[in-house]
Amino acid sequence: MIDAVGQYIKYIQYERKFSDYTIREYSTDIELFAKFLAETCGNENGPLSASSKDVREWLVFLLEKQESKATIHRRVSSLKSFFKYHLRSGNVKKNPAQNILLPKKQQQLPNFLEEKQTENLFPLEIATDSYPVVRQNVIIMLFYLTGMRRAELINLKVSDINRQRKYLTVLGKRNKQRNIPLPDWFMQQLDIYTRLRMETFGNENNYLFLTDKGKPLYPKFVYLLVRASLQSVTTMTKRSPHTLRHTFATHLLNAGADLNAIKELLGHTSLAATQVYAHNNFEKLKQTYKHTHPRS
């Protein structure tokens, strides 16, 4: 079992170039399935010996545990990918997760901030020489101005800033690069930050954003920083870097941006992933109509 899972993890890590987060999720899903096989089905031979019946029983088990439909879809998707790899490798003769019927997943519309709520997030000047304060403000601005993912921000290097042409080079999923333009006023804020960063930590580390000890940022650090910043402007339960990513895309769409342009800026591989913002926009339009039209 360990070898089969290990082979697959190496495949998605080094060949498919999945993110660290996705690798952890897929690995956890497959190990949970293997544990279910051993403890419930009495199958000690590992997931490669599983049948379609085993997968269906696991699905029932997950439903009885009242796991969310989105989580169940991801867990089964992890299994499908795992078996697909081993099918191509000749380690199994069929994919037992291939034709499993899944519960219908309710579409979750992205949470985002209203434009008025973002006004207090972005001071025109950062009148302080405190590195943590300046870093926090620049990070919040950057998330909203670019829509980048948390992992993308963490991995930004000083050398990714193109000051002459005023854009950032972002390394996204599957090592796909994209250039995101930045406004003049933010370039000035970024210059203030990078000077302060240099004065505080020197040139030893090329990562753009560092902790108070001069180390690269880590996911929980960024999550807590964003959550604390958004707490002053919204009562939403979900206050994460992805909230600002959704806000970026929604505000662009509201301002008339082309959906394909938003797709490129977000680093989506297909337009289907971007179209949820169009649906979000339509839902807002329906609510406006409902509350304002005299015959609605």
Q: At 229, is the secondary structure helix, strand, or coil?
A: helix
The residues that bridge with 167 in the sheet, in sequence order, are 162, 181
Q: Which residue in the list 80, 84, 173, 227 is annotated as catalytic?
A: 173
295 tagged catalytic: no
SS3 content of the chain, % helix, strand, coil (to 5): 60, 5, 35
Q: Which residue in the list 239, 242, 251, 263 is annotated as catalytic?
A: 242
Ordered strands of the 161-162 beta sheet: 161-162, 167-171, 177-181
Q: At 272, is the secondary structure helix, strand, or coil?
A: helix
245 tagged catalytic: yes
Q: Which residue in the list 245, 246, 251, 263 is annotated as catalytic?
A: 245
DSSP 121: G
167 tagged catalytic: no
Q: Which residue in the list 144, 193, 207, 277 is annotated as catalytic?
A: 277
CB 212 within 8 Å of CB 136: no
75 tagged catalytic: no
149 tagged catalytic: yes
Rounded alpha-carbon distances, angstroms, from residue 171 to 156, 215, 220, 243? 8, 20, 20, 20
165 tagged catalytic: no
Half-sphere exposure of 51 (CA within 13 A, CB side): 6
Q: Dihedrals φ, ψ of 202, to 5°?
A: 75, -155
CB 274 within 8 Å of CB 187: no
Q: Which residue in the list 80, 227, 268, 284 is annotated as catalytic?
A: 268
Q: Which residue in the list 149, 150, 197, 251 is annotated as catalytic?
A: 149
Of the candidates 134, 272, 97, the residue with the CA atom closest to the CA atom of residue 210: 134
Q: At 169, is the secondary structure helix, strand, or coil?
A: strand
Catalytic residues: 149, 173, 242, 245, 268, 277
